[in-house]
Amino acid sequence: MTNIHPTAVIEDGAQIAASAKIGPLCWISSRAKIGENVQLLGRVTVMGDTTIGEGTIVFPGAVLGGGPQDHGNEFKEEAKLIIGKRNIIRENVTMHAGTPKEHFTTTVGDDGMFMINSHIAHDCVVGNGVIMTNNAVIGGHVRLGDGVILGGNSAVHQFCRIGRKAMVGGLSGVDRDVIPFGIVTGDRGKLRGLNVIGLKRSGYDEHTVKSISRAFMFLFKGKEGTFDERLEQAKEKFKDNEMVMEQLKFITEGLEGRRKIMMAD
C-alpha cells in the first residue's frame, strides 16, 4: 500500500482501507480496523481491537485502544474501542478499551474534537460532536451526550452522565450528573444555569431558549415545595416542550438509578 510509510509497523491481520494514510513510526495491531480516508499522521499507536471510522485524523503521540486502567481488568482479549467518523484526535490523546462491566466496549461517536492530552477511560460512551479541550479527562463508565463541551483541564468522575449540549468550564471537577443544556463552572463544579450561548449557536430561536430558561428557574430556583414536588409539577407544566421534557427524563432516570444530580448553585 503506497499510503503506508515504510517505518510504520503493521501487524498481520490489520484491516486498513486503501484510502487510509499511515504516517511514519505508527504501530497498528493485528485486530485494528482503519476506515476510508483515515489519517494517522505519525507515531500513532493503535492497540487491540480498535475501529477508527472514516475521515478521522489522528495526530502524533495518540494511543488508542490500550488496556483499561481498571485493576484486574487491564488487558482482556475481548476489549474493544470503537471510534466513529470524521473525528479530530490531537496529540497525545488516550482512549482506552472496555471491560466486562460494559460488554468490553468503549464507544466514541462522530464529528468530535479531542484536543491535546485529553483522555477517555474504559467503558465510556461519548456522543456525536463532542469537544474535549486540552487536558480534559473522563473516568470510566462516563456518558457524554451529543454536543457536550469539556473545558481545558476539567475532570469528570467515573459513572457520571453529562447531558446533551451541556458545557463544563475549564478547571472544573464534575462528580455528579449534569442536565442537558446545563453549564457548569467552579473547581468543584456547580450548575450555574443553562448553556444559552451554545443553544443559540446551535440554531435554537429566542423563544425556545427563553422557555427552557423559565423551566430551569421553576425547577431549580423555585421556592414552593421540594425539588421532587417541582419535578412532578414540571412534567405537566412543560409537557409540550420537548427540550424541557428531555431534561426531566434525564433527571428522573438518574434519580431512579439512585444517582446524584448536580443542583443549581
Q: Which residues are catalytic?
A: 122-123, 140
Contact 139, 157 (CB under 8 A): yes
Contact 164, 246 (CB under 8 A): yes
Neighbours of 180 (CB within 10 A): 25
Q: Dihedral angle at the C-alpha atoms of 23, 28, 33, 38, nearest 10 degrees? A: -10
Look up cell 483541564; give the residue. Answer: 153
Residue 9 parent element (H or E): strand 9-10
* Residues 70/39, Cβ–Cβ less than 8 Å: no
For residue 153, is it left (φ>0), alpha (ψ between -120 and 50) or beta? Answer: left
How far, in Å, CA of 67 to CA of 98, rounded? 8
Cα-based distances in Å from 185 to 16, 163, 243: 42, 15, 22
Cβ–Cβ under 8 Å, residues 99 and 79: yes
Is 211 exposed, middle or buried, given 0-12, 13-18 or 19+ CB atoms closer than 10 A?
Answer: middle
